[in-house]
Structure 1
Amino acid sequence: MSNNTTTNVKSTEHLVTTYYPLVLVINGTLLNVLILIVLYRPTFRNTKKQPIIHYMRAIAIFDIFMLYGWNLDHYLSSKHGFRLLTYSIATCKIFGFLNYFAGHSSAWLRVFMCFDRYISASRLRRPWCSRQKGVLIIISCIIILVTLFNFHFLIFACFYRPNGTIDPNAQLYQIYPLWDNINLGVYNCIPFILMVIFNSGVFIYHLIKRRRVRVIQQSQIQHRAISITLVITTFLFLTMTIPATIVAAFFATAPPTDLAKILDSILYTYHLTSFPLYLITFKEFRWEFIKMITCKNNNRRIVPTQVVIAIARTPNQL
């Protein structure tokens, strides 16, 4: 009886670790494509007033890419007995590069999205980096720098061993686990610290400066809702991505276990969370999505309105 129970548990674990990555690929692609469709509808087309929409669109794209690296390899290796990372020299180079490029880009886009919220909240007028042109420049710089940072995969990685199999390392140096250790800092630790700093800055600013008298330009997109979304995203980033990256960095030479695969699946699940978060916390996104699925046309665009925030005067103002 005990042996049958153990066998059933192992069989269930194998089914979950085999097919869940495929579920992530399908659902993650659909949900992130839905984000792009909603964010390109009329309500969100006036990106001059809300440049942060560019970050949200870019993150959705890289979250899709993220699911087609190691995550897809987990399914292919368990179900079909091969991995893209060792299938051919071409797939080895491309997917070796993609595994890190997509993750680094997604993480740093989130960092600068938090930075944009901090800048928008703490300044009366937007600086250049928080305007549409500045945001597009920042996104382009992130993509270029991350590409250059991981470009060595496309040049040096992957070679044939004497027995004819493919080694995903480089002949000149050992990529793994070196790059897994670097990935822990570049993908997890540094972005998480910066996201916490910027989100804390937004919270402290609203807490201390909320009584300042000023006239501000405020879009109908609720800044508070976006800030709440970013706080939740930062917390999920900590709990869902760091454990798997730590395991990859410090236990890279150990044979892959079901626990490691489960932690990996949790990591990749994080890149599906944007859609439900936007739907729950971002009212304009939710309304636009409902109008889209109910086939209601909406030609209303976001137009900034003047909002006057009044406070009691200080003795110097009397």
Structure 2
Amino acid sequence: MRAMTIFDILMLYGWNIDHYVSSIHGFTFSKRAIPLCKFFSFLNYFAPQSSAWLRVFISLDRYLSLSRLHRTWFGKSKNILIIIACIMIILLLLNFHIFIVVCYYKPNGTISIGSWAYVFYPTWDYVNLAVYNCAPFILMVTFNTGVIYHLIRLRKTSTIQNSRIQHRSISITLVITTSLFLIMTIPATVGYAFFSTASSTILHLLDAFLYIYHVLSFPLYMITFDEFRRDFFAMITCKTNNQRGATQIQTVTVPNTLNTKP
């Protein structure tokens, strides 16, 4: 989930920041320089796709852990990092052509955010609709339905009732995140893919809902997901304890160092 949170934050520095500076300052970073144009164009697709597929992986991991009732191959930290790396590499290769064919100088010296090789917009928006919305949503619904089914079935057994698994919080989190993903992200992607000539105000409004969904992910998990909240506070507590431990070591070793001097 930490990796997913990072990509949710990175998303805010793509089209979102361009919308802001365009309306307030009258320019966009994408048209300031070719490297910026290529980077923002890549980030606008890579970050949301990565976030969506990490959500799919979380749903799959939750489904396997509940359906098998023992630690699966996905539960090991090393394997989790391998899977995350594979997701990143696949999506990087999928979008890497953006660095090659997208953004170029027009004859009049201005920067075009399109491609000199093919019609990038809305062609890649169609691809993004499938990779970022349709496929992840179908998989999340499938896995989350399985999770809720196993939670309902296993909740009736004494073993699960006496365990620390928070059935209600997990179910609520999965239902809310999947529903919000459908409601808040698909309209913007569909709008830019099929209705790119519509009012820019409407498109920017739909885009705002998309970014709000990713911004709300962290507080939503903190409020509804006990395991995420516990891990987050444990991470902060561990860091604080390490700092205190380092301070205590320094206070102990300093007198010893002073005593060795003649």
Query: Who is 2:185 aligned against?
Result: 241
> Which residue number in structure 1 is paired with residue 209 of structure 2?
266
Separation in structure 2 between the aligned mates of residue 224 and residue 144 of structure 1, nearest angstrom:
35
The answer to whether 1:60 aligns with 2:18 is no
Q: Which amino acid aligns with 1:228?
A: I
Aligned partner (choices 75, 85, 92) of residue 37 of structure 2: 92
Give the TM-score, by structure 2 length: 0.82
Equivalent in the alignment of 2:71: 126
List runs of 5+ in structure 2 lacking aligned partners: 243-262
**Percentage of matched positions with identical amino acids:** 57
RMSD (CA atoms): 2.8
> Is there any run of 5+ residues in structure 1 with no aligned partner, and where?
1-55, 300-318
Q: SS of 1:273's equivalent?
A: helix
TM score, norm. by length of structure 1: 0.68
- Give 1:40's aligned residue: none
Q: 1:81 to 1:238 in 2, by over 3 A?
A: same
**Counterpart in 2 of 1:179?**
124
Amino acid at match of 2:39: I
Contact 1:169 1:175 in 2 (8 A): yes
**Letter paired with 2:203:** A
Aligned-pair distance for 1:144? 0.7
Query: Contact between 2:104 and 2:114, CA under 8 Å: does it hold in 1?
Result: yes
Partner of 2:221: 278
SS in 2 for 1:172: coil
Amino acid across the alignment from 1:270: Y
Q: Which has the higher contact order (CA 8 A, sep 6+)?
A: 1
Cα deviation, residue 286, structure 1: 4.8
Q: CA shift at 1:255, angstroms? A: 5.8
Q: Deviations over 1:201-254 (max 9, x none)?
A: 111223345556869996x574652443122111111111111111000022x1
Contact 1:117 1:227 in 2 (8 A): no
Q: Deviations over 1:134-164 (max 9, x none)?
A: 2111101011111111000111111111111
- What is the correspondence of 1:1-318 to structure 2 with a 5 Å cutoff? 56-210=1-155, 222=166, 224-252=168-196, 254=197, 256-283=199-226, 286=229
Higher share of residues assigned helix: 2
Alpha-carbon distance change, 154 to 247 in structure 1, aligned in 2, over 3 angstroms? same
Alpha-carbon distance between aligned partners in 2 of 1:223 and 1:65, rounded to the nearest angstrom: 31
Query: Counterpart of 1:94 in structure 2: which amino acid?
Result: F
Q: 2:250 is matched with which residue?
A: none
Figure out how many residues of one structure are paired with residues of the other and give that number. Answer: 240
